[in-house]
Amino acid sequence: MKIVVRIPNWVGDAILARPALDSLAAHFPGAEIVVAAADWVRDLFGREEGGPRVLTLDGKGSADALRAEAFDLGLLFTNSFGTALQFRKAGIPERWGYRRDGRGFLLTKGVKPPDSQAEPRHHIHYYLDLLNKLGLPTLEPELRFRLAPNERREAKALLRAQGAGDGRPLVVLNPGASYGPAKRWPAERFAALAGLLRRREARIVLTGSAEEAALTAEIAAALDEPPIDLAGRTTLRSLLGIIGEAALFVTNDTGPMHLANALRVPVVAIFGPTEPRATAPFHPPATVLKKDAPCGPCLYRTCPFDHRCLRSISAEEAFQACLAYLE
């Protein structure tokens, strides 16, 4: 049996789908399972020993690439009409997933999605529940990444080349959020927190995408000691290596937050418009900072008001949360 699993395009969602992928592999031990993924999340799969093969989907030729593989079953962890249509065009005989986005007629086995009015559950269960509703048993969920020795060596070498490695605790600050600015704790708060952490002799590392380089540069410019600014200079795998060297990871509600959590690096997560019960770090050690606001959780990408949910979290409050992991 040959199964293809379409992985979500968001980094955070792709990570949270991994336990469901593990359960699928456990239920079909003799099957060949292939992960179909967008290029920017492909490195979250297949790098570990025994991991699935990855088929990168590039848009126009994706249906042809899928058809050439002659899959028996396609499982959609995505919600979109387009991905279901792609599986249909590829001639995959069994197509399973949630009935969402008007795509029910494209599925051979579709199940009802969770009730949006129900009490929030962690999003890791969204993918596990899909399997359960399809009649497939699931394992106890666990998020775990294991870095290869060469990935750890490369991370250490990069950090040493940037001046780290002097025995001071490494604190990684991740101030961006590709979802939109509504998720971002203000840059001046990150800078103020970095200043407080410096008093505890922490070595500050800034991470982010190339599009977030201006944001990290703004934070770096406010500090008396230049941080190690790696924005736009890491792949997903090299970012994993950098995070793996950290004593602490401070972040907004983003995909890299789950990377750190899967490595069991302590996380201080700053939440604004989103719901921690759905997307907080799944495993300890982690601390979530969240302030209620009458307009939240709103899930807006850009705040139309005064951003009070995040502006009401002070640098001193975040610093106190950090101290629990640095003392």
Alpha carbons within 13 angstroms on the beta-carbon side of residue 90 total: 30
User: How crowded is residue 9: how many other Cβ atoms within 10 Å of its Cβ?
Assistant: 16
Q: Tell me which residue of 268, 254, 284 sits closest to 322, measured CA to CA.
A: 268
- Tell whether 110 and 162 lie within a shared domain: no
- Residue 319 domain boundaries: 149-326
- Tell whether 299 and 165 lie within a shared domain: yes
- Tell whether 155 and 300 lie within a shared domain: yes
Distance CA 290, CA 274 (A): 9
Three-class DSSP category at 173 = strand
Q: What total of structural domains would you count in the chain?
A: 2
Which run of H or of E encompasses 120? none
As a whole number, the mean pLDDT across the chain is 95
- Tell whether 69 and 166 lie within a shared domain: no
Indicate which CATH number applies to the domain containing 187.
3.40.50.2000
- Tell whether 272 and 200 lie within a shared domain: yes
- Tell whether 80 and 191 lie within a shared domain: no
Whether residue 140 is contained in a domain is answered as no
Mean pLDDT of the 4-19 span:
97
- Cα-based distances in Å from 57 to 36, 109, 249: 6, 23, 31
- Tell me the pLDDT band of 47, cut-offs 50, 70 and 90: confident
Q: Which residues contact 214 (CB under 8 A, 6 or more apart)?
A: none
| 15 neighbors 261 (Cβ within 8 angstroms) | no
Whether residue 103 is contained in a domain is answered as yes
Q: Which of 133, 160, 194 is at the close of a domain?
A: 133
- Tell whether 171 and 246 lie within a shared domain: yes
Distance CA 28, CA 17 (A): 17
Q: Which single residue is written with the structure tokens 């601390």? A: 287
Mean pLDDT of the 95-108 span:
98
Whether residue 138 is contained in a domain is answered as no
Whether residue 14 is contained in a domain is answered as yes
50, pLDDT greater than 90:
no
Q: Which of 133, 164, 189 is at the close of a domain?
A: 133
Q: Which of 100, 133, 166 is at the close of a domain?
A: 133
Query: pTM of the prediction?
Result: 0.95
Read off the tokens for 263: 């490595």
- Tell me the pLDDT band of 160, cut-offs 50, 70 and 90: very high
Tell me, what's the pLDDT at 65?
95
Tell me, what's the pLDDT at 5?
98
Tell me, what's the pLDDT at 69?
97
127, pLDDT greater than 80:
yes
Tell me, what's the pLDDT at 299?
84
Whether residue 144 is contained in a domain is answered as no
Whether residue 184 is contained in a domain is answered as yes
Whether residue 141 is contained in a domain is answered as no
The angle, 0 to 180 degrees and rounded to 10, between the axes of the packed helices 187-198 and 315-326 is: 40
Whether residue 46 is contained in a domain is answered as yes
